Amino acid sequence: MKNYYLKRIVLLVITLFVISIVNAEPYPVAQKNWPDTIDLSAHRAKKNTDDSVVNKRAGRLTFGGYGEATYKYSFYSDNAFRYSFADRYANSKGFGQVDIPHVVLMLGYDFGKGWSMGTEIEFEHGGTEVAVEIESEETGEYEQEIERGGEVALEQFWLQKSFLDNKLNIRLGHIVVPVGATNSHHLPTEFFNVFRPEGENTIIPCTWHETGISVWGQVGGWRYEFQLLPALNSTMFNVQGWAHDASASPYEFRVANKIAGAFRVDNTSVNGLRLSLSGYVGNTFNNDIVTEENSTTYKDVKGTVVYGSFDFQYKHKWLVLRGNYDYGYLGDAALISRYNNYLPNSSSAPYPHTLVGRSVMDGAFEAGFNLLPERKERKLYLFARYEYYDSYNPAYVISNGERVPLSDFKWTERHVFSAGLNYYPIPYIAIKGEFGYRMLARQYNSEPWVAVGICYSAFFKR
């Protein structure tokens, strides 16, 4: 019975989706800071020539989304021990993968008098599928099986009050944390690679979203935003991804024993150029349902995270340049590594139980050259990108009066080269292809790959 109603709901959503595409004129979302900043002020300023209440309400509605489908073939082993025993996997034939990394539907509404709302639901890797089957090999026993692994998440849900023609806005609810270039510009038409940029997508949550309070505004060529939100959770830091999983919660709620702050400032005063500075600071220790309160060993541990990022973009008729530099620091990393090692270790416990780096960094630069500069809408970009990042810089302990580093893992330090083509038949659709090469320390095998993908990002109704 549940499957019956679920199929009807899915069919209704797909029908509404198709009707919206057929009846609406899409809009190139790259010209708006969407979906992180859904600016509904245009709806309030727009004069509605039809006096009917229904059409006035319809004019306040915003509906859009983005999606990606990809294929990747990696010419290296995906075995979990390929770094521990590199020689064993030097001649691997590789592996191929098809994926739907993200499909997102966004709905916004302008209530009037400065009040608006925004919601965004994301399906990652095709979502999740569970089915009940009758196993003929097991005497007709009913079994519930997971048909597909993936995620369905509510990425945004907020109410907003706007003042002074968007010079001041107060947003409350579930919001995107605009720290780093990728979190602020993660639409698939806003980067050249088939997949999101690797460095930031490894060391911090991406797309990072929390329930909190945001104050933001636009004044001339400046846009500012300040946020209060739940702090990261130090028990979820790990070697490979540092803070990537530290905002996730396996529970039905997000633990908020500690509160953190985030900010972002963008300047677009120069035509075609955006300069951005963003950052985050917060204490992460004891921000979990398992806390340490009585031990003298950990009484002064705070696990303060300080993260800063600078990124830029320059756009010309035939040229696009982008770059970023990120640095993150975790206080008390050695004690947190020790504490995490002794957390509950069972199949149901969510903890990674790995060492935690005291610092991480990422730096990247990419350039795209439009080979069709005379075309108004169609674009063909030849691009190249270089990125260096390290997700684990070991912490130190004091032994006999000397600083002794914890175990180091050289495979966390990576140089990534990629190049390829992006074809835009219209501004909100892209067809992508790339060749990539990930180079690690000498004792490890290099990791080349090829990938292709299709994507879109558009407003279907605004």
Q: Which amino acid is at 29?
A: V
Beta strands 447-461 and 402-405 are unpaired
| Predicted TM-score of the model (pTM) | 0.83
Nearest one of 409, 420, 432 to 382, comparing CA atoms = 420
With 0-12 / 13-18 / 19 or more C-beta atoms within 10 angstroms meaning exposed / middle / buried, residue 184 is buried
H helix intervals, 75-227: 181-184, 198-203
What three-state secondary structure class fits 132?
Answer: strand
Q: What percent of the chain has pLDDT over 70?
A: 82
**Is the model's pLDDT at 400 over the cut of 70?**
yes
Tell me the two tokens of residue 454: 């299709």
Mean pLDDT for 380-409 is: 90
Where exactly are the structural domains of the chain?
2-461
On the question of pLDDT at 73 being above 80, the answer is yes
Q: What is the pLDDT of residues 305-357, one digit of tens each?
A: 999 999 999 999 899 999 999 999 999 999 999 999 988 887 667 889 999 99
Q: What pLDDT score was predicted for residue 35? A: 42
What pLDDT, on the 0 to 100 scale, is given for residue 151?
82
Rounded Cα gap, residues 203 and 238, in angstroms:
10
When pLDDT is cut at 50, 70 and 90, the band that residue 25 belongs to is very low
Q: DSSP letters of 185-224?
A: S-SGGGSSSSS--HHHHHHS-TT-EEEEEEEEEEETTEEE
pLDDT digits (tens, 9 = 90+) for 104-148: 999 999 999 999 999 999 999 887 766 655 554 545 555 656 666
Partners of 128 in the β-ladder: none
Instruction: Report residue 137 as tokens.
Output: 């090999």
Look at 290 and 289; give whichever has higher pLDDT.
Answer: 289
Q: Distance between the two ends of the chain, CA-based, in angstroms? A: 36
Q: What is the DSSP string of 330-344?
A: ETTHHHHHHHHHTS-
152 and 421 Cβ atoms separated by less than 8 Å: no
Cα dist. 33→100, 143, 153 in Å? 23, 46, 21
Instruction: Evaluate whether 425 touches 456 at the Cβ level (below 8 Å).
Output: no
Other Cβ atoms within 10 Å of 10 Cβ, number: 10
Q: Is the pLDDT of residue 193 over 70?
A: yes
d(CA 307, CA 330) in angstroms, rounded, equals 9
Token code pair at residue 436: 């990539």
Q: If you search the block for the tokens 């892209």, which residue do you land on?
A: 430
For residue 324, list its beta bridge partners: 311, 364
The pLDDT value recorded for residue 143 is: 60
pLDDT at 375: 85
Contact 440, 410 (CB under 8 A): yes
CATH numeric code, 2-461: 2.40.160.10
Of 387, 348, 343, 390, the closest CA to residue 367 belongs to 387
Percent of all residues in the chain with a pLDDT value above 90, rounded to a whole number: 68
Question: Which secondary structure element, helix H or strand E, spans residue 139, and what is its range?
Answer: none
Other CB atoms within a 10 A radius of the CB of residue 438 amount to 19
Q: What pLDDT does 406 receive?
A: 87
